[in-house]
C-alpha cells in the first residue's frame, strides 16, 4: 500500500507548566481527527529559549513518531510587517519633529529682529520727535504693534514646543517598541514525522524546557504574641519572559534547581597562601539596621494549604497550585499564594543595648508540616501592624527556625555610662588604668510577662600589652563567652517592671599608648 506524505500544522496550546527555580517545563497539547497515513506534523510558532535536548513528543499507541526537528525563526522574520509599520511611523514622526524645529528657528529669528527694533527705538523716537518728523500717536501705534508681535511669537513658540515634546515622547515609545520587536526571543517550529496506523482522534503532547522563567519565594509573616501563634503565608513570585502569556494553565511550582551538570564536583585541596595585605573576605552580607515603615496591611487571605497538592518527587518537592492560572509574559512578576499555615510559636525579646537600644521581638517555630520552605524575603506584621522587611532561612519538616518580627517600642531599653575613672598610677608605674561602669535598663511596658534574651559586651584586647580585669556584673549572667567578650542572661520580666544591670571592668595599658573604647 502506497502511503501519501501529508503536511499538517497543529496548534499546540499550553496546558501545564512546572516552574523550577531558574527554568520551566512547558506541556502543550494538540488534538486532531486523522485518517491513516504518514504525516509531517509542524507546530504553531512557539516563542522562548527552548532547550532543544529536552523536547519530547507523546502520541497515542497507534501513532509512531519519528525524529524531531527544530526550525528556528528570528524576530525580524516573524514580525516583518509589524517592524515595517513601526519604521514608517518613526520616519513620519521624525519628519514632523524636524519641521517643528525649523519653525522654532524662524520664530527665534523673528523674535531677535523685533527685539533689535525695540532696543534702537528710544533714541530714534527722540530725534524724530524733536525734528517734527513724527507724532507721538504714530510711535504709540508702533510700540503696540511690536508688543503684539512679541506676544504672538511667544504663543507660537510655546504651542510648537509642546507639540514637539509630545511627538518626542511618541517617538521614544515607538523606538522602544521597535527595539523590543527586533530583540525579542527566538521563535521555533517543532516538526516531526507521524505514522498514523488507525483512523481516529489523535492527541499529541509536546514537552520541553525553557530558560527564560524563574520563581522566587516571598513570605508574609503575621505574628500574634498574645496567642502564641505565627501565620506564615508562603508565596511564589513567577516571572516569565517567553514572549507569550500562559492562559488558564495548570501550574506546579518545584523546589528543584535545574543545574546543567548533574555530576558532583571533585574534591580539591585547600591551600594557604601568604599576603602582605590579606584579601577581603567574601562572606555573607549582614544587616545591622532595618528601616521600619507604616503601611496599610493587606487583606486576610484564604487558607488553601488543605487543598494544595504537595509531593516529594525524586530530589525535590513540588506544589500543585489548585485550579487554573494565567501567567502573563513580561517584566512584572505574578504573585501566587502557595500555602498558608499557622504555627505554635515561642516569643521572646532579643536585647543588646551596646549595639542598639531596642527590643527585637523574635519567634521560634517548628515546621510540623510536609512543606520545604525555601529561603526568601519576608514582609513582617505584628497583628495588623507592618513592622518591616526581613528574611526567612530555608527550613525543612521537623526543623526549627527563629524569625525576627521587628522592634517593639513598648519595651524600653537604655544603656548609660555611669563611671569613667582614670588611675595614672605612681611615678614609677608604666601602666595606665581606666575603670568603666555601664548601666543597662529594660522596662516591660506590657500587661504580661515577657521572656528576654539579654546580651552585654566586655572589651576583648587584640594585643598582649592591653588587659581587661576586674570584670563586674551586678546580676550574675547565665553564661559568659570570654573569647568573644559576651555575657548572656535569660530573663523573665513581669508586667510594668524594670530590670537593671550594671556591668563594670578595668582596662590596663602602657602609659606611652592610647586606647580608644567606643561607647
pLDDT of residue 133: 60
Say how far apart CA 138 and CA 339 lie, in whole Å: 87
Say how far apart CA 345 and CA 350 lie, in whole Å: 15
Say how far apart CA 307 and CA 302 lie, in whole Å: 11
State the pairing for strand pair 246-254/13-19. parallel
Angle at 90 between CA 87 and CA 92, to 5 degrees: 110
Say how far apart CA 48 and CA 185 lie, in whole Å: 6
Q: Could you tell me which residues are beta bridge partners of residue 451? A: 492
Q: 237 near 253, Cβ under 8 Å? A: no
Say how far apart CA 494 and CA 433 lie, in whole Å: 39
Q: What is the DSSP string of 307-376?
A: T-EEEEETTEEEEE-SS-EEE--SSSPEEEEEEEEEEEEEEEEEE-TTT-S-EEEEEEEE--SS--BPPE
DSSP category for residue 106 = H
If we measure between CA atoms, which residue out of 51, 379, 376, 69 comes closest to residue 213?
51
The continuous run of DSSP H or E covering 115 comes out as: helix 80-131
Say how far apart CA 240 and CA 258 lie, in whole Å: 16
If we measure between CA atoms, which residue out of 409, 407, 408, 371 comes closest to residue 392?
371
State the pairing for strand pair 50-58/24-34. unpaired
Q: 351 near 452, Cβ under 8 Å? A: yes
pLDDT of residue 128: 60
pLDDT of residue 44: 93
Q: Could you tell me which residues are beta bridge partners of residue 505? A: 436
pLDDT of residue 311: 57
If we measure between CA atoms, which residue out of 420, 413, 425 comes closest to residue 493?
413
Say how far apart CA 512 and CA 26 lie, in whole Å: 74
pLDDT of residue 275: 44
If we measure between CA atoms, which residue out of 47, 326, 333, 323 comes closest to residue 215?
333
The continuous run of DSSP H or E covering 30 comes out as: strand 24-34
b/e code 175-192 from CB counts within 10 Å (16+ = b): eeebeebeebbebbebbb
Indicate the SS3 state at residue 380. Answer: strand
Q: 318 near 255, Cβ under 8 Å? A: yes
pTM: 0.63
Say how far apart CA 52 and CA 190 lie, in whole Å: 10
User: What are the φ/ψ torsions at residue 464 (nearest 5 degrees)?
Assistant: -75, -25
278 contact partners, CB below 8 Å, separation of at least 6: none
Q: 59 near 68, Cβ under 8 Å? A: no
Say how far apart CA 22 and CA 258 lie, in whole Å: 7
| Cα distance from N-terminal residue to C-terminal residue, the chain | 96
Q: What is the DSSP string of 123-189?
A: HHHHHHHHHTSS-HHHHHHHHHHHHHHHHHHHHHHHHHHHHHHHHHHHHHHHHHHHHHHHTPPPEEE
Cα–Cα distance list, 208 to 19, 24, 241 (Å): 12, 8, 16
Which segments of the chain have a pLDDT < 70?
1-4, 78, 118-139, 181, 183-184, 257-315, 424-428, 518-519
User: What are the φ/ψ torsions at residue 418 (nearest 5 degrees)?
Assistant: -110, -10
Amino acid at each position: 500500500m502506497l502511503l501519501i506524505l501529508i503536511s499538517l500544522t497543529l496548534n499546540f496550546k499550553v496546558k501545564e507548566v512546572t516552574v523550577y527555580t531558574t527554568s520551566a517545563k512547558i506541556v502543550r497539547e494538540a488534538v486532531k481527527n486523522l485518517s491513516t497515513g504518514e504525516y509531517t506534523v509542524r507546530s504553531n510558532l512557539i516563542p522562548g529559549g527552548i532547550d532543544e535536548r529536552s523536547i519530547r513528543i507523546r502520541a497515542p499507541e497507534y501513532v509512531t513518531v519519528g525524529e524531531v526537528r527544530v526550525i528556528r525563526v528570528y524576530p525580524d522574520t516573524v514580525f516583518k510587517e509589524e517592524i515595517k509599520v513601526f519604521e514608517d511611523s518613526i520616519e513620519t514622526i521624525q519628519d514632523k519633529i524636524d519641521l517643528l524645529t525649523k519653525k522654532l528657528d524662524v520664530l527665534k529669528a523673528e523674535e531677535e529682529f523685533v527685539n533689535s527694533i525695540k532696543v534702537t527705538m528710544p533714541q530714534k523716537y527722540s530725534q524724530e520727535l524733536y525734528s517734527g518728523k513724527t507724532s507721538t500717536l504714530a510711535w504709540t501705534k508702533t510700540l503696540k504693534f511690536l508688543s503684539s508681535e512679541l506676544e504672538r511669537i511667544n504663543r507660537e513658540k510655546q504651542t510648537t514646543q509642546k507639540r514637539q515634546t509630545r511627538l518626542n515622547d511618541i517617538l521614544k515609545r515607538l523606538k522602544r517598541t521597535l527595539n523590543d520587536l527586533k530583540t525579542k526571543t527566538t521563535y521555533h517550529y517543532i516538526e516531526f514525522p507521524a505514522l498514523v496506523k488507525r483512523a481516529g482522534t489523535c492527541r499529541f503532547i509536546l514537552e520541553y524546557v525553557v530558560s527564560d522563567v524563574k520563581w522566587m519565594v516571598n513570605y508574609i509573616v503575621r505574628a500574634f504574641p498574645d496567642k502564641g501563634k505565627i501565620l506564615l503565608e508562603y508565596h511564589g513570585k513567577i516571572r516569565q519572559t517567553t514572549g507569550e502569556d500562559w492562559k488558564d494553565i495548570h501550574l506546579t511550582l518545584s523546589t528543584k534547581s535545574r543545574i546543567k551538570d548533574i555530576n558532583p564536583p571533585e574534591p580539591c585541596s585547600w591551600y594557604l597562601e601568604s599576603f602582605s595585605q590579606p584579601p577581603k573576605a567574601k562572606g555573607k552580607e549582614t544587616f545591622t539596621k532595618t528601616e521600619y515603615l507604616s503601611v496599610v496591611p493587606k487583606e486576610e487571605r484564604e487558607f488553601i494549604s488543605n487543598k494544595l497538592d504537595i509531593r516529594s518527587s525524586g530530589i525535590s518537592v513540588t506544589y500543585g497550585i489548585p485550579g487554573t492560572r494565567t501567567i502573563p509574559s513580561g517584566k512584572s512578576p505574578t504573585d501566587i499564594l502557595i500555602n498558608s499555615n499557622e504555627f505554635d510559636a515561642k516569643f521572646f525579646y532579643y536585647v543588646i543595648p551596646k549595639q542598639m537600644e531596642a527590643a527585637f521581638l523574635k519567634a521560634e517555630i517548628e515546621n510540623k508540616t510536609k512543606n520545604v520552605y525555601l529561603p526568601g524575603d519576608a514582609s513582617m506584621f505584628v497583628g495588623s501592624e507592618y513592622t518591616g522587611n526581613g528574611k526567612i532561612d530555608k527550613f525543612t519538616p521537623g526543623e526549627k527556625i527563629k524569625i525576627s518580627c521587628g522592634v517593639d517600642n513598648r519595651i524600653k531599653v537604655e544603656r548609660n555610662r555611669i563611671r569613667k575613672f582614670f588611675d595614672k598610677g605612681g611615678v614609677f608605674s608604666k601602666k595606665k588604668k581606666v575603670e568603666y561602669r555601664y548601666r543597662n535598663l529594660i522596662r516591660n511596658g506590657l500587661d504580661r510577662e515577657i521572656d528576654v534574651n539579654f546580651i552585654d559586651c566586655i572589651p576583648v584586647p587584640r594585643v598582649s600589652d592591653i588587659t581587661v580585669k576586674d570584670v563586674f556584673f551586678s546580676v550574675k549572667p547565665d553564661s559568659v563567652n570570654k573569647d568573644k567578650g559576651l555575657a548572656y542572661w535569660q530573663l523573665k520580666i513581669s508586667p510594668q517592671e524594670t530590670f537593671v544591670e550594671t556591668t563594670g571592668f578595668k582596662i590596663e595599658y602602657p602609659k606611652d599608648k592610647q586606647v580608644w573604647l567606643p561607647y
